[in-house]
Amino acid sequence: MDEHPRIAPQRRHLERQAQDLLERVPFMEDEELRWTVRFLRDCLPPMEQAAMLRDHSEHLDLHQMRQMVEQFIPRYTDHALEALEAKRFTSGQSLRDLTDEELQGISAAEKWDLFLQDSTALQPYQVRRELARLFMCLNFDLFHDTLSAEAAIEFSAYLDLVERFGALSDQAIENLKEQAVAAFRGLNVRDVSAVEAALATLREAIGGAAGLNPPFDSLFSERMERWPASAPETLPDVLNPEITAAVEAMNLEQLQTSLRVLMELMSLEEQQREIEPLKGKYRSLTDIPAEELSIFLPQLSMRLGDRNVCDFALRYRSGRLWAREKVSPQAWKLLPFQDKFMVLEADNDAMDLLQASRHLTRLLLTDGYERLFDPAYQVALTHEPLYRRVLDYCMTELQDRDQLQRVNRQVTRMMLELEELVPEGERAGRFLEIREVIGKIFKIEPPAEKQ
């Protein structure tokens, strides 16, 4: 028997979907991350949901959510490909032939027509999901819309229904299903009035079984509210397994160096929030024992996301901003010069005194254009006494916010022009000119480039 023609395109779709999502996750904001999880979770059986999303909560912070979603997507894709493999030789003409993802992508009208042909085709968890999706069909158009199941996940009402149906007996769900099958049997699905009358009756029955009382309009007032609305008392501790493994292999000196590097990525407010409690326990950061650092550093790294010590320079090249969430490289590349400058100006405005001072200090003391993008060099620069002196000078002598903004604005435009308008072979010379401008403001001679 040959593989059904629908299988290969669906397999390619799943693989492309995973690749696209993984590329976008680092740039997704909270709402898109939560939508992505809902969209994929709605195609999983309950046991697989519990296993793959054990650490998921819609109340995780942004970077924890990104990490969790990044781990979830490959696991979901492997499951979806295995489910598709099991349907390779089916005709695709009945509900039994379709995967959960295929069921998500067809209209309620088509699915309930197939129910008329075989009302025992789906497993109980799938019937529960289809009844909840049917409840979300508020009108004739949604009943026939192939995207209605995808849209349903945006509402807490749908998630509540699926959860409440999980507590109902299989027989109660079977009774609701049979009521829906009876309502659609002989119904002209092209008759708007007849369809909407049947939907209204079924929605009352489905909502009533779940403990909801009509009218139901208030259930659809907001999209993508966090679900459930209240955060749990304790949230899962989502960590990057690669960073955790790397930290476990570090000695005390390496752990201390890693803490100093992470501190270079933090704002004043973040340092006060994260580091001050440690200062209250120990006389200095060098007194923190290795065991405590091994626990603290992966947690701190997760809260900071994928910030990089070179972001102060990469902001001009690829949109990795210094104080705001980064822009995707693809989007950055498409922005015209003036729009990029506006984004960078917003980043400047978001910088506190410490971040703005670091930005200017690193530009001044980096002794060659290519070293702007060398993480090892930038980490080593942090340990130079001159770096600390210039940073302190910038924060004390230039602490006037208006003056600091003017300097940052001038330097920002010059650096963006360097990346956007200056030929690559001339950038080293132009960068030296920028350093000289900063040096004149600071009254400090830029260090000569080392050979």
Confirm whether 329 is domain-assigned. Answer: yes
Range of the domain at 148: 105-220
Tokens of 309: 């010590």
In angstroms, rounded to a whole number, what is the distance separating the alpha carbons of residues 11 and 151? 23
Note whether residue 235 is domain-resident: no
Regarding whether 216 and 187 lie in a shared domain, the answer is: yes
Query: Are residues 109 and 216 both part of a single domain?
Result: yes
Q: In the numeric block, which tokens belong to residue 193?
A: 């009035």
**Same domain flag for 327 and 410:** yes
Regarding whether 392 and 274 lie in a shared domain, the answer is: no
Q: Are residues 260 and 292 in the same domain?
A: yes
Number of folded domains that form the chain: 4
Coil, helix or strand at residue 431: helix
DSSP 147-193: THHHHHTTSHHHHHHHHHHHTS-HHHHHHHHHHHHHHHTT--TT-HH
Of the candidates 344, 292, 302, 337, the one whose C-alpha atom is nearest the C-alpha of residue 323 is 344
Q: Are residues 315 and 435 in the same domain?
A: yes
For the question of whether the overall pTM of this predicted structure is more than 0.85, the answer is yes
Determine, yes or no, domain membership for 414: yes
Token pair of 27, please? 């740039």
The answer to whether residues 78 and 147 touch, using CB atoms and an 8 Å cutoff, is no
Angle at 316 between CA 432 and CA 346, to 5 degrees: 120
Provide the token pair at 387.
């770096």
Same domain, 424 and 379: yes
pLDDT at 399: 63
- Residue 451 lies inside a defined structural domain of this protein: no
Domain final position from 269, 304, 339 = 304
214 inside domain: yes
pLDDT at 191: 97
Distance, in Å, from the CA atom of 114 to the CA atom of 181, rounded to the nearest integer, reads 10
Residue 196 located in a structural domain: yes
Residues 171 and 260 in one domain: no
Euclidean distance between the first and the last CA atom of the chain, given in angstroms as a whole number: 69
Is 404 found in the same domain as 299?
A: no
Residue-by-residue pLDDT tens, the chain, 451 positions? 789 999 999 999 999 999 999 999 999 999 999 999 999 999 999 999 999 999 999 999 999 999 999 999 999 999 999 999 999 999 999 999 999 999 999 999 999 999 999 999 999 999 999 999 999 999 999 999 999 999 999 999 999 999 999 999 999 999 999 999 999 999 999 999 999 999 999 999 999 999 998 889 888 889 999 999 999 999 999 999 999 999 999 999 999 999 999 999 999 999 999 999 998 899 999 999 999 999 999 999 999 999 999 999 999 999 999 999 999 999 999 999 999 999 999 999 999 999 999 999 999 999 999 999 999 999 999 999 999 999 998 888 876 778 888 999 999 999 999 999 999 999 999 999 999 999 998 888 887 776 5
- Whether 407 is covered by a domain: the verdict is yes
In a domain, 72, yes or no: yes
Shared domain for 341 and 299, answered yes or no, is no
HSE value, Cβ hemisphere, 13 Å, CA-based, for 312: 27
- Considering the domain architecture, whether residues 82 and 133 belong to the same structural domain is answered as no
